[in-house]
Amino acid sequence: MRRLDLTNQVFGNLTALRMGARSNHRITWICRCLCGLETVVLAENLRSGHTTSCGCRKGRRGEWTAARFWALVRQGEPAECWPYVGRSKTPSGYGSIFWDGRRRGAHRLAWELFNSDSAGELEICHRCDNPICCNPHHLFIGTHYQNMMDAAVKGRMNRGANNGQAKLTADKVIQIRNSPESGTALADRFEVSARTIRDVRIRRSWQWLDEHNGEGN
C-alpha cells in the first residue's frame, strides 16, 4: 500500500515537515505548530482531525499543559534519545513533573500524551535503557513483571547478585514477591533464611529493583 505524502500539508495549526519513525507499526509525522514548537503526531490523528496543534490551542489545562511539557523535552531525530530537561529528577535519573495534581514520571507522561491514551496500571518501559529519555519511539507498555525481566535480561539488575555471597538474583526476588507461599516454604526452596525472605518482601533488601518501574508514575 502506497504511503500518503503529507509533506507541507496543513492540519489546523500543524504543518507536516517529514515522516517520523513508526510507533507500534503506525506512521508518524514530525510537525511544526504555529506556536513554533515541533511535535510528533500519528498520521491517522492528523488526517482524522483529532490532533490540530501541539497542544497550545486549549486552555491552561488539558492540551495546553501538553505543550508546556514537550517544551521541557529536547526533541531530536526519531532514532535519538529525547532527554527531559526539566529540573526535577528522581534519584534513579527519571524525569519527574507535577501534572494534574500529582507527581508523574516524565517518560510515562510522554507515552500517554503521544498515544492519547492512559497506561492505567501498566508500566512504561525504555527500549533505550536511558531513564531520562522521553522519545515515544523508545518507549513501550508492559506489566511490572515484563519491565523487571527486560531489565534483568539487559543486565541492569545485577547489583544485589554482584555480592559474592548473594544467593538470590533479580528473577528469584521477583518470584518471591509474587509468590503466595509462606516465608518458611520460600526459605527452604531458595535455600536462604526466613529473615532474608521477609527482608525481600518488605523491600528492606533489593529495594533498588523497584526503581526500574519508572519512579513517579
Residue 122 pLDDT class (50, 70, 90 cuts) = confident
**Higher-confidence position of 38 and 154:** 38
Give the whole-angstrom CA distance, residue 88 versus residue 34: 28
Cβ burial of 173 (10 Å; 0-12, 13-18, 19+) is buried
User: What is the predicted pLDDT for the residue at 149?
Assistant: 66
- Does position 63 have pLDDT exceeding 50, yes or no? no
Does 34 lie in the same domain as 86? no
Single pTM value for the model: 0.49
| Number of structural domains found in the chain | 3
Mention every residue, 6+ apart, whose C-beta is less than 8 A from residue 92.
131, 211, 212, 215
Average pLDDT of 130-144?
Answer: 88
Domain edge (last residue) among 142, 166, 200: 142
Model pLDDT, residue 105 = 92
Task: Identify the pLDDT of residue 216.
Answer: 41
For a pLDDT cut of 90, what percent of the chain falls above it? 16
Q: Tell me: pLDDT of 107 over 90.
A: yes
**64 found inside a domain:** no
What pLDDT was estimated at residue 214?
Answer: 46
Please identify, among 87, 118, 142, the residue that sits at the C-terminal boundary of a domain: 142
pLDDT of amino acid 158: 47
Same domain, 4 and 34: yes
Q: Among 142, 168, 188, which residue terminates a domain?
A: 142
97 plus 134 within the same structural domain: yes
Q: Is the pLDDT of residue 162 over 80?
A: no
Residue 191's domain comprises 152-213
- The reply to whether 169 and 196 lie within a common domain is yes
Summary mean pLDDT of the chain: 79
Per-residue pLDDT band at 164 (split at 50, 70, 90): very low
The model's pLDDT over 73-106, given as tens digits with 9 standing for 90+, comes to 999 888 899 999 988 888 878 899 887 777 889 9
Which is nearest to 71 in space by CA: 59, 55, 51? 55
Q: In Å, how far are 41, 51, 106, 130, 171 from 216, measured between CA atoms?
A: 25, 27, 8, 16, 23
Cell of residue 7, nine digits: 509533506
- Tell whether 192 is covered by a domain: yes
**pLDDT value at 215 more than 60:** no
Predicted pLDDT of residue 65: 67
pLDDT of residue 57: 56
DSSP 3-state of 196: helix
**Cα–Cα distances in angstroms (integers) from residue 140 to residues 64, 135, 169, in the given order:** 25, 10, 25
CA distance 26 to 76: 19
